[in-house]
């Protein structure tokens, strides 16, 4: 459809928030939950459904895991693999794209490498994009006296793929993961490539053992960083939480779809599995880029 000489570009995106995944749950029950959310998104005619960071397992960096076999049980050494194949099969059948975060075990020149990864999958279930988390929060060793750990720096290495964008479903889409959203260069790297949409999953505890004086601002800082990223780059941002009390760690929800204006157009209201969606008008993104920010132009448009 043409409007004012411009093609009307829209993509309907769902944010599939997950409630807690506990240790005993196992992948089969988690996959069933992901499938249910994916089916709900497809029945609402969504083009794309976005799942959180480390969506197949509990957020294991909250624990000090000493046994290598146990630690590797949280990683995927292939994607897809037989444990998660059902998600790819269903997506192909429903003709819906998806993005999901997982712990990736890669073999590089015979050496094992561990990444916190997210992928972008098109409507025919092909993996067209991969991002490996660059900003890793937390510590390289367990912290005494903390009620829970964040050992991402111990378990993962920083991503080595940069911030990429991929054209699919009529949009230019990029990804970042959780802590990345607090750093302006994450969104900026995508914005500078002309991204229409940034997808990101997060696992954000209510309580920060290192910085407890900011606990009352946890949800504010989540929204602030995503809304600023959206507005300052004229793009849609879809932020998706793993929420609720997971193995004793309370995590925020508030998964949100944010317009290029910086306005939150839809937000989850629970700390459980919950789907929200919005028909994202990419013309709005074009408008912010060409009128206010004029990315790539020398001229000020104000």
Close Cβ partners of 104 (under 8 Å, ≥ 6 residues apart)? 75, 76, 77, 79, 114, 115, 116, 117, 132
Torsion sign (Cα): 173, 174, 177, 180:
negative
Residue with tokens 């990864």: 117
What is the size of the binding site for ligand CDV (CB under 6 A)? 10
Site for ligand CDV in 180-199 (CB under 6 A): 182
Q: Which helix (H) or strand (E) element contains residue 173?
A: strand 171-177
Q: Least CB distance from residue 137 to ligand CDV, whole Å?
A: 4
Is 178 designated active site? Answer: yes
User: How many C-beta neighbours within 10 Å does residue 24 have?
Assistant: 8
Contact with ligand CDV (CB under 6 A): which of 204, 227, 255, 256? 204
**Helices and strands in the chain, H and E counts:** 7, 17
> Are the C-beta atoms of 136 and 158 separated by less than 8 Å?
yes
SS3 state of residue 93: helix
Per the rule left: phi > 0, alpha: psi between -120 and 50, beta: everything else, 234 is left
Cα distance between residue 241 and residue 253, in whole Å: 5
Q: Least CB distance from residue 154 to ligand CDV, whole Å?
A: 13
Stretch that binds ligand CDV, among 5-13, 85-93, 117-125, 175-183 (CB under 6 A): 175-183
SS3 state of residue 38: helix
The verdict on 179 binding ligand CDV (CB under 6 A) reads yes
The verdict on 178 binding ligand CDV (CB under 6 A) reads yes
The verdict on 202 binding ligand CDV (CB under 6 A) reads yes
Cα distance between residue 67 and residue 72, in whole Å: 9
Stretch that binds ligand CDV, among 75-83, 154-162, 202-210, 260-268 (CB under 6 A): 202-210
The verdict on 137 binding ligand CDV (CB under 6 A) reads yes
Pick the catalytic residue from 10, 76, 104, 178: 178
* CB nearer ligand CDV, residue 52 or residue 97: 52
Q: What are 59's two structure tokens?
A: 């957020």
Q: Least CB distance from residue 104 to ligand CDV, whole Å?
A: 15
Bridge partners, 177 (sequence order): 201
* CB nearer ligand CDV, residue 117 or residue 150: 150
Stretch that binds ligand CDV, among 13-21, 63-71, 141-149, 200-208 (CB under 6 A): 200-208
* CB nearer ligand CDV, residue 138 or residue 283: 138
The verdict on 33 binding ligand CDV (CB under 6 A) reads no
Contact with ligand CDV (CB under 6 A): which of 149, 150, 165, 168? 150
Q: What are 254's two structure tokens?
A: 């508030």
Q: What are 74's two structure tokens?
A: 């949280």
User: How many C-beta neighbours within 10 Å does residue 220 have?
Assistant: 10
Contact with ligand CDV (CB under 6 A): which of 117, 118, 203, 254? 203
- Residues 39-58, one symbol each (x = binds ligand CDV by CB under 6 A, - = not), give --------------x-----
Q: Least CB distance from residue 144 to ligand CDV, whole Å?
A: 18
Contacts with ligand CDV by CB under 6 A lie at 53, 137-138, 150, 178-179, 182, 202-204
The catalytic site residues sit at: 53, 133, 178
């Amino acid at each position: 459809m043409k409007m004012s000489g411009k093609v009307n570009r829209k993509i309907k995106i769902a944010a599939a928030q997950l409630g807690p995944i506990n240790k005993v749950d196992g992948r089969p029950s988690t996959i069933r939950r992901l499938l249910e959310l994916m089916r709900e998104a497809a029945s609402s005619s969504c083009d794309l459904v976005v799942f959180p960071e480390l969506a197949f397992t509990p957020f294991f960096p909250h624990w000090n895991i000493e046994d290598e076999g146990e630690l590797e049980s949280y990683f995927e050494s292939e994607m897809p693999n037989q444990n998660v194949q059902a998600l790819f099969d269903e997506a192909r059948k429903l003709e819906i794209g998806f993005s999901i975060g997982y712990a990736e075990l890669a073999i590089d020149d015979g050496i094992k490498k561990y990444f916190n990864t997210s992928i972008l999958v098109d409507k025919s279930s092909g993996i067209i994009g991969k991002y490996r988390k660059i900003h890793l929060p937390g510590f390289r060793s367990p912290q005494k006296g903390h009620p829970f750990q964040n050992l991402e720096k111990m378990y993962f290495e920083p991503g080595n793929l940069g911030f990429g964008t991929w054209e699919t479903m009529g949009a230019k889409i990029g990804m970042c993961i959780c802590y990345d959203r607090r750093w302006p260069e994450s969104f900026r790297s995508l914005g500078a490539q002309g991204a229409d949409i940034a997808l990101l999953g997060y696992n954000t505890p209510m309580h920060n053992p290192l910085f407890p004086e900011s606990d009352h601002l946890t949800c504010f800082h989540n929204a602030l960083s995503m809304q600023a990223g959206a507005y300052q780059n004229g793009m849609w941002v879809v932020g998706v939480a793993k929420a609720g009390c997971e193995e004793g760690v309370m995590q925020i929800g508030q998964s949100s779809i944010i317009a290029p204006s910086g306005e939150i157009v839809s937000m989850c209201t629970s700390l459980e599995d919950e789907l929200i969606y919005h028909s994202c008008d990419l013309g709005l993104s074009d408008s912010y880029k060409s009128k206010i920010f004029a990315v790539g132009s020398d001229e000020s448009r104000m």
